[in-house]
Chain A
Amino acid sequence: MKFSIYRYNPEKDNKPYMRDYELELLPTDRMLLDAILRIKTMDDSLGLRKSCREGVCGSDGMNINGKNGLACVTPLKDLKEPVVLRPLPGFPVIRDLIVDMGQFFKQYHSVKPYLINDNPPPQKERLQSPEDREELDGLYECVLCGCCSASCPSFWWNPDKFVGPAALLQAYRFIADTRDEATSERLDNLEDPYRLFRCHTIMNCADACPKGLNPTEAIGRIKKQMVKRMV
């Protein structure tokens, strides 16, 4: 199988280049990450992040044949040759397929992604009805791989001001949580032409999400809550 991988080592290279690799696939090579790790045994200078290798840690987000995804849950048999691998677009490259997620996590922290409830916690736990808990489905599963935000042109142009689809999904995760009591502050925090309203609903995020989540829908629901509170 043919691969073309983005290579850039700022200590050695003046500019990035694409390097071709050819790999004889073994029957055990199921996912793209299996192949990349075998390429790494051939060329140990190739840099990438990975950890759980089953789509839970969100480390190996990359641009695969033009679409962002997690290498560990991308089946090799679905890929067209040559498989072109690039780092997540719009993020500063540290080396090869490794990008700087600093700005991404800064935006994530800015939405206060934790439960805010000043009432004294009950003896055991804050209970929710099954229906209220269902509201969080499609929100809590996010692994923060960055595939969605790195596919969003609004995030490319304004990563310092636009919160981005991943963090907005998390913002809505806490707005939707009946145990959270800071809804109003959360909406105040987001009501901004840059922070929320750079989203032009092009839905690249929903298309890219390797977990099948829909940040665009969550963003729409945040806007709906804002309209509800205004009218």
Chain B
Amino acid sequence: MVNRIVVGAHYGLRDWLLQRISAVVMAVYAVGFVLCVLPRLPLSFEDWRAWFANPFVKISTLMFMLSLLLHAWVGVRDIFMDYVKPFGVRLCLQVLVILALIVYAIWTVSLLWSV
């Protein structure tokens, strides 16, 4: 097959926007988390459990983690696009990363709702 340079996938904006929005979500959560936890220090195991039993904390933490995973996806894919030239290798790496991120998402939910 001729080694053509192919571009024109007509996506990219959504991911770029997603990366920015997820960054804002993470920043808001991180600041909020520190502000909520700092005055309650030191926290015992029971305090942590009680804290994470709150559904608001659960959902906001899940939002944070999903933002983190989506943010990581865009960032890691960007690194592959920049540095991994053979497209077969790039595809395999991207699939591996997607699978890992899905596992992390499921793991996050199971952890958060185990409390």
Residues in B neighbouring A157, C-beta threshold 8 A = 82-83
Cβ of B1 < 8 Å from any Cβ of A? no
A161:B10 contact, CB within 8 angstroms? no
- Cβ of A135 under 8 Å from chain B: no
The answer to whether the Cβ of B42 comes within 8 Å of any Cβ in the partner chain is no
In the complex, the answer to whether B13 meets A223 with C-beta atoms within 8 Å is yes
B7 part of interface (Cβ distance < 8 Å): yes
A side interface size, CB within 8 A: 21
Does B107 count as interface, using CB distance less than 8 angstroms?
Answer: no
A229: shortest Cβ distance to chain B, in Å?
9
| A191 contacts B10, C-beta separation under 8 Å | yes
Contacts of B13 in A (CB 8 A): 191, 197, 223, 226-227, 230
Interface centre among A153, A191, A193 (most CB of B within 10 A): A193
- In the complex, what distance in Å separates the CA atom of A230 from the CA atom of B8? 17
User: Across the interface, which residues of A come within 8 angstroms of B50, CB to CB?
Assistant: none
**B residues near A197, Cβ cutoff 8 Å:** 12-13, 15-16
Minimum CB distance partner of B16 in chain A: A197
1/0 contact trace for B7-41 toward A, CB 8 Å? 11111111111000000000000000000000000
CB distance from B83 to the nearest CB of A (A): 7
The interface residues of chain B lying within 8 Å CB-to-CB of A195 are: 7-8
Say which residue of A158, A193, A196, A227 sits within 8 Å of B17 (CB atoms).
Answer: A227
Nearest to A156 among chain B residues (CB) is B82
Q: What's the count of A-B pairs with C-beta under 8 Å?
A: 47
Q: Which residues of B contact A223 (CB under 8 A)?
A: 13, 16
B 71-89 binary contact with A (CB < 8 Å = 1; else 0)? 0000000100111000000
A124 sits at the interface (CB 8 A): no
Q: B5, B15, B81 — which one has the most chain A CB atoms within 10 A of its CB?
A: B81
CB <8 Å contact, B8 and A192? yes
Interface centre among A194, A195, A223 (most CB of B within 10 A): A194
Contact B81 A198 (CB under 8 A): yes
CA A157 – CA B85 in complex, angstroms?
Answer: 9
- Contact of A63 with B by CB under 8 A: no
Instruction: Check if A188 is an interface residue, CB within 8 A of chain B.
Output: yes
A100 to chain B, nearest CB (A): 17
Distance A161 CA – B13 CA, assembled complex (angstroms)? 16
Q: Which of A174-231 contact B (CB under 8 A)?
A: 188-189, 191-198, 200, 223, 226-227, 230
**Interface pair B12/A193, CB less than 8 Å apart:** yes
CA of A111 to CA of B14 in the docked complex: distance in angstroms? 21
Residues in chain B within 8 A of chain A (CB atoms): 5, 7-17, 78, 81-83
Q: List 28 A-B contacts (CB under 8 A).
A: A153-B82, A157-B83, A158-B81, A158-B82, A160-B5, A161-B5, A161-B7, A188-B10, A191-B10, A191-B11, A192-B7, A192-B10, A192-B11, A193-B9, A193-B15, A193-B81, A194-B9, A194-B81, A195-B7, A195-B8, A197-B12, A198-B81, A198-B82, A200-B78, A223-B16, A226-B13, A227-B17, A230-B14
